[in-house]
Amino acid sequence: MTHLEIVIKLLLSVALGSIIGAERERHGRAAGLRTHALVCVGSCMITMISIYMAQACVNSGQQCDPTRIAAGIVTGIGFLGAGTIIRERASIVGLTTAASLWTVSAIGMGIGCGFYEVALYGALIIFFTLVALGLIMRRYLGKKPIKIELE
C-alpha cells in the first residue's frame, strides 16, 4: 500500500464518517460529527493495520487470522455505542446514535480494506436512513423518532 493510498483511505473515512456525524450533531446528540469521524478513521486504520499484519505473516511464513482484529472492532464499537444509550425517566434514547456509530465503523473497515463501493453505498444508505426516514416518520406518522418506554 502506497502512502497516497493510505492518505486517500483516511481522508475518505473522515469525510464519510463526518457526513453521518453531522446529521447526529444536527439533532444534538452526544456522539456527533467528531465522534463519528474518529470512529470511522479508527476503524479504517485498524483494518489497514490488520491487512498489513496478515501480509507480514504470509511473507514470513507464519499463520495468522486478520479477521480477529475486525471482530474486535465490531465488539469494541458495540461497547462504545452502548455508552450513548441513556435512560431518561421512563424511556431510552440513543439507540439510533449507537447504531450509527456501529455502522460508521463498518464504513471505516470497508475503506481500510479497499472495498470502496461498500463503504460509499453504505454511507449513502445510512445517511438516507437517518435523514429521509426521520422526515417520513415526522411527516406521515406525526411523531418524532420512537423512544422505547420502560414499565
The per-residue pLDDT for range 23-81, each reduced to its tens digit, is: 888 888 777 888 888 889 988 988 888 888 888 888 888 887 877 888 888 888 888 88
Residues 6+ apart with CB under 8 A from 133: none
Interatomic CA distance for residues 40 and 37, integer angstroms: 5
Residues 6+ apart with CB under 8 A from 120: 16
How far CA 24 is from CA of 66, 129, 138, in Å, comes to 31, 12, 16
Structural domain boundaries enclosing 41: 3-149
Q: How many domains, the chain?
A: 1
User: Model confidence at 16, in pLDDT bands (50, 70, 90)?
Assistant: very high
Burial class (CB in 10 A: 0-12, 13-18, 19+), 95: middle
